């Protein structure tokens, strides 16, 4: 039972991550304003910008 619940939760989290990453991509293309991004997408964007600033 616990494994099934964990699997369902993992599936839901994977779907959230996937949609958030897609929204980040739309934001980078200029098709979506920053204030319309979900919180998880803003976290992904911040992480991506930090990584890019460390490279430069």
Going from the C-alpha of 19 to that of each of 24, 37, 44, 56, the distances in angstroms are: 9, 11, 11, 28
Residue 51 in contact with residue 31, Cβ under 8 Å?
A: no
Q: What is the pLDDT of residue 47?
A: 97
Number of structural domains, the chain? Answer: 1
Q: What is the pLDDT of residues 24-33, one digit of tens each?
A: 999 999 999 9
* Angle made by CA atoms 11, 21, 54, in degrees to the nearest 5: 125
* Domain range for 30: 2-55
Q: What is the pLDDT of residue 4?
A: 94
Given a cut of 90, whether residue 1 has pLDDT beyond it is: no
Given a cut of 80, whether residue 9 has pLDDT beyond it is: yes
């Amino acid at each position: 039972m616990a494994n099934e619940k964990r699997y369902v939760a993992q599936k839901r989290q994977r779907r959230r991550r996937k949609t958030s990453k897609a929204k980040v991509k739309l934001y980078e293309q200029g098709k979506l304003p920053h204030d319309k991004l979900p919180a998880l997408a803003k976290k992904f964007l911040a992480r991506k910008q930090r990584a890019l600033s460390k490279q430069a």
